[in-house]
């Protein structure tokens, strides 16, 4: 009896994993079809759609923009977020709780609203260049990840180590660089990767903030899908999934994949 | 830490968020209250327009159904994952996290391939002779729902595995040694103990579903708009700035209400 119920649970879980994996596997397979529109199962086998993607100027320039944007937005968020998380973790002021929620406040505003607000204020109001608007928008998207992840690893840190460094003659900056930073390093790496992937994948904020000729890859892909149904979309999807796999591998090596769950 | 250093470390972030998040929000929200009759005139008009009401209902309906389906699919699956050995568990967690980190355009596009007129489902059913002509599955409320479930099920699973991992093996073994079969153990021991996780997961799915943009945009078409696609259309296609501002505040308040609900639930569960 027990074994049969166990079988039922296993079958149920297998069905759910099939539901999760099958759509992405189907996309991956369609990237290799020879026909000019997507069909499944595929006829023939070709790499030509990957070639088409690499030859496409709009895909390549938006890929470049997405990568540059994700790196800049993440570095900006780390430059602003790590000192803030340190100040909040090192002190026990009553206002820290309020300040922490202030730094996390962009999680309570839907991405599409952030995009619209910045569009109205920066692009229409201040006539700011497209890239500056995108950078600020993506900074708002990723700063909560830095505060959360770096904050969590500072909670694990024993600040008496920093005190020892200072009593041994380090000044504040030296003590931070030599005693604190190495101990929260893996937290910073994890924050970097989480922030990077969330900026790289973001659509809602970018929707309003991309301009003519300047578009992020997901945004370009989205407008391309509206008019075309050819396997180059599948080929890009495979490339994006490959980037995801690399990042997951990186996180697994530094902090363990479980940290993404928290 | 000296106060001056404390402020020096926090000031840049406070300044950036103040100028580029809070001030822009004021810029888009202030005009929605500018009216001669009553500051809430536009909101009253919004909530009495049947067209907008339909969109609000649809947004909430899809979010509720998606949350419930994610719970039904997620709870047994997470239980299955949490009872595996270490290696099997980390593999299954990776399989669950992978879709979460894959671009939402890719995830929505997968369902275009599956549900489209010449898609996987239709060609399979045609070949089996179960249907004579393709079913309209794509650009319906159904496809938005499927896409939303697909988008958030991993989040539910990950949250639930975290909370089910905290249930000691001893507790379930005790239930079984006292004569409960596996199903009874699951229903009477595991389910009540993972209730906090189910609630947190549910709130995450719900609040994500009412604000998701990519999925309703790609899988819903013009006939199945949600609040998120409506705000984009109002602002970008129609240049209706105050209309978009009204929708923005409605979405922010809905999100805050759900977050508040989660905090209250967490507090109550902590105390009991």
Structure tokens at A4: 């049969």
Which pLDDT score, from 0 to 100, does residue B2 have? 83
Task: Select from A90, A91, A111 the Cβ nearest to the Cβ of B213.
Answer: A111
Q: What residues in chain A have per-residue pLDDT under 70?
A: 1-5, 255-262
For chain B, domains (ranges, CATH) are 40-271 (1.10.3720.10)
Contacts of A2 in chain B (CB under 8 A): 181-182
Q: What is the pTM of this model?
A: 0.91
Residues of chain B with pLDDT under 70: 270-272
pLDDT at A111: 95
CATH of the domain at A140: 1.10.3720.10
How far A50 CA sits from the closest chain B CA (Å)? 16
Amino acid B182: pLDDT: 78
Pair B120, B55: CB distance under 8 Å: no
Residues in CB range of A92: below 8 A, 6 or more apart: none
Q: Give the tens place of pLDDT for each residue, A46-83.
A: 999 999 999 999 999 999 999 999 999 999 999 999 99
Q: Which of A110, A246, A257 to mutate to test the interface with B (most CBs of B within 10 A)?
A: A110
- The pLDDT assigned to B67 comes to 96
- Which residues of chain B are within 8 Å of residue A33 when distances are taken between CB atoms? none
Picking from A23, A117, A140, the nearest residue to B114 by CB comes out as A23
pLDDT of residue A262: 47
Q: Supply the DSSP string of chain A, one letter for each residue.
A: -HHHHHHHHHHHHHHHHHHHHHHHHHHHHHTT--SSS--SS-SS--SHHHHHHHH-HHHHHHHHHHHHHHHHHHHHHHHHHHHHHHHHHH---THHHHHHHHHTGGGGS-HHHHHHHHIIIIIIIS---HHHHHHHHHHHHHHHHHHHHHHHHHHHS-THHHHHHHHTT--HHHHIIIIIHHHHHHHHHHHHHHHHHHHHH--HHHHHH-BTTB--HHHHHHHHHHH---HHHHHHHHHHHHHHHHHHHHHHHHT-GGGGT-
Q: Which domain holds residue A221?
A: 57-227
The percentage of chain A sitting over the pLDDT mark of 70, rounded to a whole number, equals 95
In a domain, A134, yes or no: yes
The answer to ipTM > 0.95 is no
Any domain includes A177 = yes
Helix A57-90, helix A181-201: angle, nearest 10: 140
Indicate whether A28 belongs to any domain. Answer: no
Question: A199 lies in a domain?
Answer: yes
Domain presence at residue A242: no
Overall domain count for chain A: 1
State whether B105 and A218 contact (CB < 8 Å): yes
| pLDDT, position B74 | 96
Residue A68 lies in a domain: yes
- For chain A, the distance separating the N- and C-terminal CA atoms, rounded to the nearest angstrom, is 36
Tell me if A187 is assigned to some domain: yes
Determine the pLDDT at residue A195: 93
Q: How far is A149 from chain B (nearest CA, A)?
A: 16
- Domain for residue A104, yes or no? yes
């Amino acid at each position: 009896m027990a074994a049969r119920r166990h079988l039922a649970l296993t079958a149920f879980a297998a069905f759910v994993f099939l539901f999760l994996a099958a759509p992405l596997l189907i996309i991956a397979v369609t990237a290799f079809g020879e026909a000019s529109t997507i069909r499944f199962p595929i006829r023939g086998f070709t790499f030509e759609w990957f070639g088409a993607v690499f030859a496409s100027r709009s895909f390549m320039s938006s890929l470049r923009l997405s990568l540059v944007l994700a790196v800049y937005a993440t570095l900006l968020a780390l430059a602003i977020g790590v000192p803030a998380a340190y100040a909040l973790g090192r002190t026990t002021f009553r206002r820290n709780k309020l300040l922490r929620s202030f730094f996390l406040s962009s999680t309570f505003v839907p991405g599409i609203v952030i995009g619209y607000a910045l569009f109205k204020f920066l692009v229409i109001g201040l006539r700011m260049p497209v890239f500056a608007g995108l950078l600020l928008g993506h900074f708002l998207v990723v700063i909560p990840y830095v505060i959360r992840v770096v904050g969590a690893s500072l909670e694990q840190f024993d600040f008496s180590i920093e005190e020892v460094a200072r009593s041994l003659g380090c000044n504040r900056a030296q003590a931070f660089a030599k005693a604190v930073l190495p101990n929260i390093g893996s937290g910073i790496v994890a924050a970097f990767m989480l922030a990077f992937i969330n900026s790289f994948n973001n659509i809602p904020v970018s929707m309003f903030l991309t301009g003519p000729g300047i578009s992020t890859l997901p945004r370009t892909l989205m407008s391309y899908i509206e008019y075309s149904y050819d396997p180059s979309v599948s080929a890009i999807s495979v490339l994006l999934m490959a980037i995801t796999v690399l990042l997951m591998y990186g996180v697994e090596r530094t902090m363990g994949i479980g940290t993404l769950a928290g | 830490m000296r106060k001056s250093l404390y402020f020096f470390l926090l000031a840049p972030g406070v300044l950036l968020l103040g100028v580029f998040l809070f001030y822009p929000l004021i810029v888009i929200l202030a005009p929605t209250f500018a009216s001669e009759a009553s500051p809430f005139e536009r909101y009253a008009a919004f909530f009495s327009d049947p067209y907008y009401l339909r969109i609000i209902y649809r947004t909430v309906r899809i979010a509720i159904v998606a949350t419930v389906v994610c719970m039904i699919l997620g709870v047994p699956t997470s239980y299955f994952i949490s009872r595996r050995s270490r290696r099997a568990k980390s593999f299954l967690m990776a399989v669950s996290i992978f879709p979460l980190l894959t671009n939402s355009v890719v995830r929505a596009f997968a369902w275009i391939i599956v549900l489209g007129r010449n898609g996987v489902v239709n060609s399979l059913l045609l070949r089996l002779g179960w249907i004579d002509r393709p079913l309209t599955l794509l650009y319906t409320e159904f496809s938005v729902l499927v896409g939303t479930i697909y988008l958030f099920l991993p989040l539910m699973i990950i949250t639930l595995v975290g909370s089910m991992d905290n249930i000691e093996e001893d507790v379930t073994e005790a239930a079984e040694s006292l004569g409960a079969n596996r199903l009874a153990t699951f229903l009477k021991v595991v389910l009540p103990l993972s209730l906090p996780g189910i609630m947190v997961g549910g709130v995450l799915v719900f609040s994500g579903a009412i604000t998701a943009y990519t999925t309703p945009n790609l899988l819903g078409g013009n006939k199945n708009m949600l609040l998120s696609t409506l705000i984009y259309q109002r602002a970008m296609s129609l240049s209706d700035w105050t209309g978009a501002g009204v929708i923005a505040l409605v979405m922010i308040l809905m999100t805050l209400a759900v977050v508040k609900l989660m905090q209250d639930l967490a507090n109550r569960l902590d105390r009991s």
